[in-house]
Amino acid sequence: MATRLSVNVNKIAVLRNSRGGAEPDVVRAARACLDAGAHGITVHPRPDARHIRADDVLVLADLTREYGVEFNLEGNPFAPPRAGYPGFLALCGQVRPAQATLVPDSDTQLTSDHGFDFSGDLGALREHIAALRALGCRVSLFVDAGDPRVEAAAALQADRVELYTGPFAEAFAAGHADAARACAGTARRAQAAGLGVNAGHDLSQANLAAFLAAVPGVLEVSIGHALIAEAMHAGLDATVRRYRALVDAA
């Protein structure tokens, strides 16, 4: 199966929220990405509403249905509801995303920077996965490359794992020839356990082709920060088309 490109538009909302109001328009940006060939849209609404808000999730869900593409909703299932944020499971119940990607981040984290710890009691995580699957969502768990327990995601009834590729990107930028070794090994073990493999974090035009060549069978890459930064110079349409060319050639 060819790798799919899902564009994360969180950074558009960061810029909008820095001034208030409605510009830049998150939906307009997402539409530009889809018109340029993106296979889907990803957002990670955080409880503190620092970028994507719950109301954005609703309209973006409508947009992805209009285009007939996948909506990937990321979040921490354990984060409690609060004003303006009904909770991750409640949001998924409202919009029924094609994929729910569970990430163990906290309010204080600047960005997602680690995967789940599969040691200890996983009963609560299993319950969240079951509830999301009952909504019709495909469930993916954010995991660290090199995690010795990645197969536990299959035992929890998750459908996929998403490899945290931040360390890969850092190693690749430093010129390490084996930068993707841990990702490739973890992907093979996950696939052997019956899991699909996604990837995301700090993937860019500079490293994406090398990553996909080294890590076979990646079903989806979710890319936001680098893509939006590059698009500031080249434009969304041209930037998304270049990413499509990279994943299509992998």
pLDDT in tens, 209-238: 999 999 999 999 999 999 999 999 999 899
> How much is the pLDDT for 17?
95
Q: 205 in helix, strand or coil? A: coil
pLDDT in tens, 105-132: 877 766 766 789 999 889 999 999 999 9
pLDDT in tens, 159-169: 999 999 999 99
The residues annotated with a catalytic role in the active site are 44, 74, 201
> How much is the pLDDT for 110?
62
CATH number of 4-249: 3.20.20.70
| Residues 207-242 as b or e (16 or more Cβ within 10 Å = b) | bbeebbebbeebbbbbbbbbbbebbeeeebeebbeb
